[in-house]
Amino acid sequence: MPFFYDWTILIMIPGMLLGLVVQFVLQSTYKKYAKVVSSTGLTGYGAARKILDEAGLFNVPIECIHGELTDHFDPRSNVLRLSQGVYNSSSVAAIGVAAHECGHAIQYSEKYAPMKLRGALVRVTNFSSSASVWMVLLGLLLGVPQIAWVGLILFLTVVFFQLVTLPVEFNASRRAVKILDGVMVTEELNGVKKVLSAAAMTYVASFITALLQVFRLLLIIGGGRRRE
């Protein structure tokens, strides 16, 4: 029986449940504050443009993209991309998300070390995430545990990437709140904090899930060696 059907899959259940809960909280929190119009009169685009310009980042364009919560800053092209629901909205949620992404743009311009490290790890992590589990499987099927251990080492790159992502995301949120403090009234700023905190928890959940996967792979590889 393939290893991914054995009992060790139960180890991943807490991570799966945590992910579902976090996504539910994020969606409900975002939808709640997406209905609260900010007294600033700014749209997500307007807030982002104002923040970037005040930071001297006049060369960072802002694009509108499809999807919900697909907002991101692309350091490769130095472009800030906001989803339609954020770009055109004057809601508290939209302004908070836009400010968070501006935080990433500012991180990039300031050469914030964790962001530089995360950027350097992207290609390696993309390869490792897809290759690691297959190498573990191949090592077990061939009875060559060394291959399986290489697969586990590759997956540790994914875990490290998730770990490095945490300070990047939390720092961007802190920057966003600091920028908006004094611009938004207290009630609106509290809403921003709740939206960004819920979003940050998705990265915490991903990190915990990755750790659980490491534990699972250790049990699988160790079990495979004992059966030899």
Residues 87, 42 contacting (CB under 8 angstroms): no
Whose tokens are 């920057």? That residue is 175
Give the residue from 11, 69, 5, 23 showing the smallest Cα distance to 209.
11
How far apart, in whole angstroms, are the C-alpha atoms of residue 22 and residue 226?
37
CA 155 to chain centre: 17
68, 101, 169, 228: the catalytic one is 101
Residues 133, 12 contacting (CB under 8 angstroms): no
Q: What does DSSP say about strands 79-83 and 72-74: parallel, antiparallel, or unpaired?
A: antiparallel
Query: H-helix or E-strand containing 58?
Result: none
Residues 60, 104 contacting (CB under 8 angstroms): no
Question: In the annotation, is 101 catalytic?
Answer: yes
Number of neighbouring beta carbons within 10 Å of residue 58: 9
Task: Give the residue numbers marked as catalytic.
Answer: 101
